Structure 1
């Protein structure tokens, strides 16, 4: 069976993971692989930590899409991959990797996942999760301090200097590539049900 590839884009802290979890909860599938685009940030061992903090991580060029596309094709061929792991505290790719086995459903999640035409072509379903800027900023502030070891000042500076302008330049325009746009500021159960039905149909067709 050829895996179903689902690409989930949306602004930083828009609730992509929440939507993915709702979809998976209704699918009741044991065979799912989730690949976060963040793990494909380029390795930066050759520059200092101070220099890494000034890199624009919200620009498409910060991501190793060549490797991701290679990995997607490998999974589609029925073979496992050795996925990189990104270390957010050190702003660099970790020396550790994770083995990901081919699954019936493979979810690609990331703010810039729809910017690459190759990834769009490999995806069966393309989603864009939308949420207003203020709520996204508050969520990002809380998450980066709690989960990524960042200071309040560093989160605010990064948001104003790169996250916000890059969102409007690169992330938001990819809505036009989405099959479904999901507004995440209120209940989106109908959208999730439609997506689940579509996934189930594709799975039946590929059996």
Structure 2
């Protein structure tokens, strides 16, 4: 049995990373894939008053416990299960429970900053960057945060101007050049998706040996 295939999926907020991830899972089946979302590893802010939590720059690498994600990735690569944290985006705190993730032939690291982090990037066999126009990404972010996180459009736009866009320009966009494959249009770019799936399938043949 070979080493599991590690895939990084990065791109700006609202670029379509989740759609690409879903296409990969659909192609190979959930029994083959373990998913580690970088978002699950946000640092717990329960020690801060709520007013201070909402002012934290969640788009900066320092907001995430990347060292724990790397440790969990190494555990999965060694064939051992991990307890993935669960993050509450409404209260900005880590939940008191975890989700057990079993080792799988394919491990996917997903998040806006996964390619910007050398700790994660050096473990990846395939590095993907999902690209989409800024206006499309902003619209998707507004819709998601209003529907899933109960936020007002004013708070979403304030955060976008204060941290999301500056951090995208500083950290996320530069990581684009580190990708093996750039996918414009995200999960709707079937040609790019087919190429990625073929590459994963080829690497999985090595895993089965």
TM-score range, shorter chain: over 0.9
Tell me the residue number matched to 2:140. Answer: 139
Matched, 1:46 2:65: no
1:27 deviation in Å? 3.1
Matched, 1:32 2:52: no
1:134 deviation in Å? 0.5
Distance of 1:31 and 1:160 partners within structure 2 = 39
Matched, 1:8 2:12: no
Across the two proteins, how many residue pairs are aligned to each other?
A: 207
| Residues 47 and 187 of structure 1: CA distance in aligned 2, closer, same or farther (over 3 Å) | closer
Distance of 2:158 and 2:18 partners within structure 1 = 24
Tell me the residue number matched to 1:108. Answer: 109
Q: Is 38-47 or 181-190 further displaced after alignment?
A: 181-190
Does the CA contact (< 8 Å) of 2:20 and 2:187 recur in 1?
Answer: no
Distance of 1:199 and 1:14 partners within structure 2 = 22
Tell me the residue number matched to 2:152. Answer: 151
Tell me the residue number matched to 1:90. Answer: 91
Query: TM-score if structure 1 supplies the norm length?
Result: 0.96
Tell me the residue number matched to 1:81. Answer: 82
Distance of 2:73 and 2:25 partners within structure 1 = 20
Distance of 1:187 and 1:71 partners within structure 2 = 31
Distance of 1:177 and 1:26 partners within structure 2 = 25
Distance of 1:24 and 1:47 partners within structure 2 = 37
Query: TM-score if structure 2 supplies the norm length?
Result: 0.95
Distance of 2:46 and 2:90 partners within structure 1 = 14
Q: CA RMSD in A?
A: 1.3
Tell me the residue number matched to 2:184. Answer: 183
1:14 deviation in Å? 0.6
Unaligned 5+ residue runs, structure 1? none
Does the CA contact (< 8 Å) of 1:132 and 1:185 recur in 2?
Answer: no
